[in-house]
Amino acid sequence: MGFEIAEDNPSPSTLIFTYGTLKRGFSNHGLLQDLMRTGDAVFRGTYRTIDNYPLVCGPYRVPFLLNLPGASGSNRVTGELYAVTARGLTRLDELEGITRCHYERLPIMVEPISATGDGEGKACAAEAYYAHRSYAAEMWKRNGKRGYVVYGEKEAKGYVKRKDRPQNLSFLDQIHVFVSSIDGN
């Protein structure tokens, strides 16, 4: 699943496609900045998915990529690609709650895009943090089976940082409350 990068980083790296708060200009990008400072991440460019995927917002405007390729109402999602070392991957996995079933890291095919939005290079295998399979279908239903092309400023409006969310429920509990309120109440 990993993809070895020989260029500016001599240690094996995994290509990670980011689509939400880890991107430049968003609340969790500080972690990637720290990883780049220590040599544990390298920015590779702006990329988009080869297949259509649902990109939705959950509780507190948290973005979720759903592993439902080709779902009606989904789009080719635009994000950023980073080459990340094993040490950096451990930190990203912790942020994304891999062991707590918040997200799961799985393969995805992406291609670079130019400033004009055209493909400018070959597709490559990467990995992305998808909403955990235990609630992904419900998240898609809750969002009216309509996804975003990009998680931008408009989509992030109203995002609540983890430290500012209610602490009496776990994040998974917050997700289950969100998806159980199909009518939005």
pLDDT tens for 151-167 read 999 999 999 998 999 88
Q: What is the pLDDT of residues 73-131, one digit of tens each?
A: 999 999 999 999 999 999 999 999 999 999 999 999 999 986 555 556 789 999 999 99
Lookup result for tokens 């991107």: 23
Distance (Å, whole) CA 122 – CA 43: 17
- pTM score over 0.95: no
Q: Active site includes 96?
A: yes
Distance (Å, whole) CA 165 – CA 98: 19
Residue of 7, 80, 94, 96 marked catalytic:
96
Three-state DSSP at 76 gives coil
Distance (Å, whole) CA 162 – CA 56: 18
pLDDT at 6 over 60: no
Please give the pLDDT value at position 102.
95
Report yes or no: 104 and 132 within 8 Å, Cβ to Cβ.
yes
Domains and CATH numbers, the chain: 14-180 (3.10.490.10)
Please give the pLDDT value at position 162.
87
Element of type H or E holding 177: helix 171-180
Q: What is the pLDDT of residues 11-31, one digit of tens each?
A: 669 999 999 999 999 999 999
Confidence tier at 184 by pLDDT (50, 70, 90): very low
Report yes or no: 2 and 125 within 8 Å, Cβ to Cβ.
no
Confidence tier at 172 by pLDDT (50, 70, 90): very high
